[in-house]
Structure 1
Amino acid sequence: MYLKTLHLRQFRNYEAQDVAFDAPKTILVGNNAQGKSNLLEAVELLSTLKSHRVNRDRDLVLDNHAIAQITATLERDSGTLDLALTLRSQGRRTVAINGQSVKRHLDFLSILNVVQFSSLDLDLVRGSPAERRHWLDRLLIQLEPVYAYMLDQYNRVLRQRNALLKRGPMAGTTPEELAVWDAQLAVAGARVLRRRDRVIERLEPLARMWHQSISGSRETLNITYQPNIEPPSKQQQRWSRWPPEQVQQAFLTKISTRAIAERSQGLTLVGPHRDDVIFTINQTPARQYGSSGQQRTLVLALKLAELQLIESVIGEPPLLLLDDVLAELDPHRQNQLLQAISERFQTLITTTHLGAFDHQWLQQSQILMVEQGKITDFF
């Protein structure tokens, strides 16, 4: 797939901007806070309908305006598509494909596939479990758009169950009423858990291969999905291979053991919203013991594995968005990344200076200057 054009209207700090991409690699150069990351965020929104930076649409709309629009022309093997997303500071967003309004946002997801790698991703190993869950969920939505509906369904059940726990028996919440939501949580949670575990199973060998290549075969990477429920059997640790009914029963069993603590705290303590992804290097937890260089190698391997996995599932190479990340990588890791993407993946790169790129890369790239929400050719 190839992103041909992008049009931004009243989005972030862009009043009105049209960009035509005329090379496989586009370098956006400029000082900080000029709008480089905003452009990549717009592409991300067209892909997943989510921003990894903010949760509210009004934060995406230019100050003193009611709406923002992002439109793009995308070439895929099946033909050319026009995508449009309208964001409102008050009111619901709308999406359209080829000028036709799309009622179900699910039908818009993953028409444009992207892998984003930003300097924030370097905290993926060191950061909180929530960061790793969000990373995994964004990948799953790319591979299986219906997962967005499953995740939303789980979160709705979770909010309702938390509301009942906060009310408590003094406000009339009965054990029978809570049991209804226990069952729904188990069903919805099992769907989320099994799909997360399945994608880790597919991603891990690819990431391990890249990790060994970057580290010179000195290190072995392992990735494990760690739910906060007990597996039905110690002999089989892969949750995706257990029947849904057994996973649901494991949920209900764990819920029964945490019932007193949940009533005391007024919160659901069991479910995918409390799970984690564990990275180990040579059997050592990377979060606590990995050096800065090891952690950078790990995240780079993850991103390269994402590119491979999405391409194998979708059948076309996704776009790669590199947001101010090259400066965080040493020359060896930069070269590994640049060699891997080669001409296969259309790549949008933000940077504050061009010194990180060799002459051949600059010759083969479209270079654009970003300054105060305006984009011009770089000379």
Structure 2
Amino acid sequence: MFLKTLELRHFRNYETQRVEFTAPKTILLGENAQGKSNLLESVELLATLKSHRTSRDRDLIQDGFATAHISAEVRRDVSYADLAITLREKGRRTVARSGEKLRRQLDFLGALNAVQFSSLDLDLVRGGPGVRRVWLDTLLTQLEPVYAYILGQYQQALKQRNALLKQDDRTPDAAQLALWDAQLAALGTRVIRRRSRGLARLVPIAQYWHSAISGKTENLVLQYAPNVPLTEDDPQVIQAAFLEKIQQRAIAEQHQHTSLVGPHRDDIDFTINDTPARQYGSQGQQRTLVLALKLAELELIETVVGEPPLLLLDDVLAELDLKRQNQLLEAIGDRFQTLITTTHLGAFDADWLQRSQICTVQAGQIMTDPKHNRHNTTPL
């Protein structure tokens, strides 16, 4: 797939901006806080309907305006799509595909696939479980867009159950709570099974890349750590274990007024040479792990959807040493359309620069410098 054009109106610090992508790689060059990351964020929204930087649409809208618009033209192997998102300071966002306003946002997913890699992704290793859950859920949504609906159903049931547990100075009605227990277990089982199967597909790819990047000196183990015991991939067995654990934690839940059982408390364990990466991994080991995960995401999405996704690299070269920079750039090649932000061009060799479209970003304005764009290549 290839992102041909991107147009932003009142998005972050962009008033009105249109970019036409003309090469397999686009380097966004500029100082910090000029809008480079904002552009990548808009592409991330087109791919996942989410931003890893904020959960509030009003944060994405330029100051002084009530709405923001993102639109793009995407070419795929056998199709072509115009995508559009309208964000509102008040009220729900709307999405359109090829000029048709969609009633369900779920139907928007899948037209564009992208993997985002930023300096914030180091939190995958050293951050809390919530960071890892969001990472895995975002990946699964791109592999199987219906997962967004399944996860949304679970989160809604969780919200309703928590509301029942939060009633002040009242013991929740036993019959009503039992109904929500059953709902939570049924919906949570669907989430657990998909997380388990998705991670199982990713693990061998990530292990391959990790071995290659570390020079075969380190052994990576990724293990799903579900909050509900997962002994086999049988929905009835998982639901029974779910309900049993709810009964075990019933007194604690009523005391804490919140649900303590379910995939909203899952985690993913990373170990390197039998050592927990979060606690004992060096910065170099943590960077190698995250780089391996991102390369594995790219490969898995390409396998599942049948086309290579976009790669969004947000100021990550500065986080990697020269060896890892070279391994990343070599792995990308021309296989993936890549948008990469940087404050200088020193990390790129002459071949990369020749085959790249270079855009300067300054104060929400994007300019293509002809002297930097003499590449003899055509879009993917």
Length-normalised TM-score, structure 1:
0.96
SS in structure 1 at match of 2:307 = coil
Report whether the alignment pairs 1:290 with 2:281.
Answer: yes
- Name the amino acid aligned to 2:90: Q
Q: Return the alpha-carbon distance in structure 2 between the equivalents of residues 40 and 52 of structure 1.
A: 11
Q: Return the alpha-carbon distance in structure 1 between the equivalents of residues 12 and 299 of structure 2.
A: 31
Q: What is the 5 A alignment of 1:1-379?
A: 1-167=1-167, 170-171=169-170, 173-232=172-231, 241-378=232-369, 379=371
- Name the amino acid aligned to 2:271: T
Q: Return the alpha-carbon distance in structure 1 between the equivalents of residues 92 and 46 of structure 2.
A: 16
Deviation at 1:79?
2.1
- Name the amino acid aligned to 1:372: A
Q: Return the alpha-carbon distance in structure 1 between the equivalents of residues 60 and 233 of structure 2.
A: 42
Query: Taking every aligned residue pair, what percent have the same amino acid on both sides?
Result: 66
1:102-138 CA distance string (max 9 Å, x none): 1111110121000000000012100110000000000
Q: Return the alpha-carbon distance in structure 2 between the equivalents of residues 95 and 312 of structure 1.
A: 27
Q: Return the alpha-carbon distance in structure 2 between the equivalents of residues 27 and 84 of structure 1.
A: 24
- For the Cα contact (< 8 Å) 2:228–2:263, is it kept in 1? no
Deviation at 1:230?
2.5
> What's the Cα RMSD here?
1.0
Which sits farther off after the overlay, 170-179 or 155-164? 170-179
- For the Cα contact (< 8 Å) 2:229–2:238, is it kept in 1? no
Which sits farther off after the overlay, 313-322 or 213-222? 213-222
1:132-156 CA distance string (max 9 Å, x none): 0000000000001000011111111
- Name the amino acid aligned to 2:127: G
- Name the amino acid aligned to 2:80: T
Tell me what 1:236 maps to: none
SS in structure 2 at match of 1:267 = coil
- Name the amino acid aligned to 1:247: I
SS in structure 2 at match of 1:62 = coil
- For the Cα contact (< 8 Å) 2:58–2:89, is it kept in 1? yes
Q: Return the alpha-carbon distance in structure 1 between the equivalents of residues 279 and 354 of structure 2.
A: 42
1:38-66 CA distance string (max 9 Å, x none): 00000000111111111111111111111
SS in structure 1 at match of 2:125 = coil
Deviation at 1:172?
5.9
Aligned residues: 370
Tell me what 2:375 maps to: none
Which aligned segments of 4 or more residues in structure 1 are displaced greater than 4 angstroms?
none
Q: Return the alpha-carbon distance in structure 1 between the equivalents of residues 98 and 245 of structure 2.
A: 48
Q: Return the alpha-carbon distance in structure 1 between the equivalents of residues 40 and 360 of structure 2.
A: 14
Which sits farther off after the overlay, 352-361 or 180-189? 352-361
1:246-273 CA distance string (max 9 Å, x none): 1011100111111110000001001111
- Name the amino acid aligned to 1:195: R
Structure 2 unpaired stretches of 5+: 372-380
Deviation at 1:81?
1.0
Deviation at 1:348?
0.0
Q: Return the alpha-carbon distance in structure 1 between the equivalents of residues 269 and 230 of structure 2.
A: 16
Which sits farther off after the overlay, 97-106 or 111-120? 97-106
Q: Return the alpha-carbon distance in structure 1 between the equivalents of residues 159 and 326 of structure 2.
A: 46
Deviation at 1:229?
2.1
SS in structure 2 at match of 1:53 = coil
Structure 1 unpaired stretches of 5+: 233-240
Tell me what 2:378 maps to: none
Q: Return the alpha-carbon distance in structure 1 between the equivalents of residues 250 and 323 of structure 2.
A: 51
Q: Return the alpha-carbon distance in structure 1 between the equivalents of residues 58 and 167 of structure 2.
A: 32
1:173-211 CA distance string (max 9 Å, x none): 211111110010001111111111111100000000000
